[in-house]
Structure 1
């Protein structure tokens, strides 16, 4: 049995919105982090990604699948069971995502200051 995803694995204040660099879409890096330890069902992904609408999460998963980063497997049985998993290409993004997270943590205050200064100038 795999370990459940931590509902607080992402800081609710920063769901990647401060990152100036993104690949795929806003939520792709977080989805990749959620799949780091193995396949997950959609409902499992929704636990730490609770701020993401179901529609946006579905779009992100489809984009990642289209780009060869994620696979979608439907298991046979009386109850529908779909799991998403990283491909080798998706797994190769893990160090990149980790580096972006470290960079974001290191420059958090500067990013917030820049955003606040822009809001103040446009208000």
Structure 2
């Protein structure tokens, strides 16, 4: 039986990825990107801030930790730090330290993160555009049970 290279083993395993299967490793990635803070960080890194037209997004750009913290209302420093570390570990963003006084640390999407950014940004825009419909449906559903 011929020995397979690591690349061949990965290619073979990749063909078997099916998130509907319990042991599929892609479930870990789905779990990561379905996290509220992960999705918001990915969306924020491509945003220049509040805009009257919520479908309008700036070009993805590097942001400082404090900018991200201010953009993501309600995130704790601990949660933001954990989220950024996890995204860096997964290769979705890079952390750059510039030796200034004080030290400047910026976060920027990688090509992999940018490909996911577009998907997450679309979900964010969809949620904002359809929230009134969802609230009306919830109200109708709850009133029929009363």
Q: For this structure pair, what is the TM-score category when the shorter chain's length is used for normalisation? A: 0.5 to 0.7
Structure 2's unaligned 5+ residue stretches are 1-30, 47-59
Structure 1's unaligned 5+ residue stretches are 1-20
* Deviations 1:62-107, CA, capped at 9 Å, x for gaps: 1111111110111113322111110000111122012212332344
Q: 97-106 or 78-87: which moved more?
A: 97-106
Aligned length: 99
The structure 2 residue matched to 1:97, chosen from 98, 112, 120, is 120
Please name the residue that 1:50 is paired with: 73
Q: Determine which structure has greater relative contact order: mean sequence separation of CA pairs < 8 Å that are 6+ residues apart, divided by chain length.
A: 1
Secondary structure of 1:68's aligned partner: coil
Alignment of 1:1-123 (within 5 A): 23=33, 25-36=35-46, 37-109=60-132, 111-112=134-135, 113-114=137-138
* Deviations 1:16-66, CA, capped at 9 Å, x for gaps: xxxxx9715221121112211311110111112131111111111111111
Please name the residue that 1:17 is paired with: none
Q: TM-score, normalised by structure 2?
A: 0.57
Q: Distance in 1 between matches of 2:111 and 2:89?
A: 14
Shift of 1:109: 3.8
Q: TM-score, normalised by structure 1?
A: 0.66
Q: Which has the larger radius of gyration?
A: 2
Identify if the C-alpha distance between structure 1 residues 49 and 108 changes in structure 2 by more than 3 Å, giving closer, same or farther. Answer: same
Larger relative helix fraction: 2
Q: Distance in 1 between matches of 2:140 and 2:81?
A: 31
